[in-house]
Amino acid sequence: MSKARIFVSRKIPQAGLQLLEQHFTVEVWPHYAPPTKQQLIEKIAGCVGMVSLLSDKIDAEVLAAAPELKIIAQYAVGYDNIDVAEASRRGICVTNTPEVLTEASADFAFAQLMAVARRVVESDKYVRNGQWQVAWHPSMMLGYDIYGATIGIVGAGRIGQAVARRARGFSMKILYFSSSAKPEFEKETGARRVELDELLREADFVSLHVPLNNDTRGLINADRLALMKKTAFLINNSRGPVVDEKALYDALKSGQIAGAALDVFASEPTPADNPLLQLENVVVAPHISSASHATRARMAVMVAENLIAFFTGHQPANLVNPGPAKK
């Protein structure tokens, strides 16, 4: 009996691929760049499952071209690249990889916070470019204190709470904005729930950890940036469209806020002529918050386990849309 066909839209760590190959006939997209929409349509034709990445836009047209598709195993915690409503309508299950990347993502958010506040990237360039001509000066590369400062967590899910735990180690005052109260989180970290505007006014560091949806798209706009302190920093490793990039550029250029650290952009990869990239008070990265060897390997195993569970008659542990699985 032939094995079910699975398409993997990019090479994932070997631990996950080996697990998949034990159960399925697996085709892996061989290129570093993602498949085009037409290539994706061609590759998933006849497949019963696929492993997708955030860069794969899986809309109604793609789903319509794959009548045999039963499950999409997303290699990420977010899944805003997938039309989940259309997948559900077609009886296609969608899974993701939550929890496994929480700590790595929180590490990176805090690393970016520290890098922009203490001007780590600027200092690196300063030395490499031969600008370090005086051994020491009282005003050289002055940054902002992190220890004892106030951090505002926008979105107190797994990653937001993990960032707060790191902030606690720096004796930071923790504010958070969330659609619901988190009493256990408050007890653990001393965090205080506030409205978004109050958080923006009080925080020295604003760290974004919300999913992208209709409520969060453009959440941080010109009006909200204007509420922040001139000495405050914005950290975003959630989704690019949560922030109005033009408004952010204007706020940074004018000195309305002190700086920003971005792992995500409105369009990815962001073009080299993005004005934000010209600013010294911005630290940037190419959407790599979860990019540690161990975390990416665990994510690969998790997508494989989601697919195996589904095709052996079990509900996957990380099902985004439980409706189709009940049919």
Mind telling me the catalytic residues? 239, 268, 287
Contact indicator for 175, 203 with CB cutoff of 8 Å: yes
Closest CA to 252 of 274, 223, 232, 272: 232
CB 261 within 8 A of CB 232: no
User: 177 with 152: CB under 8 angstroms?
Assistant: yes
Q: Residue 163 in contact with residue 170, Cβ under 8 Å?
A: no
Where b means 16+ CB within 10 Å and e means fewer, 20-54 reads beeebebebbeeeebbeeeebbebbeebbbbbbeb
DSSP letter at 258?
S
Pick the closest to residue 66 from 88, 42, 97, 96 (CA basis).
Answer: 42
- Which pairing describes strands 192-193 and 233-236: parallel, antiparallel, or unpaired? unpaired
Joined together, the tokens standing for residue 293 give: 């060897």
3-state DSSP helix/strand/coil percent for the chain, to nearest 5? 40, 15, 45
Question: 10 Å Cβ neighbour count for 153?
Answer: 33
Distance CA 199, CA 177 (A): 7
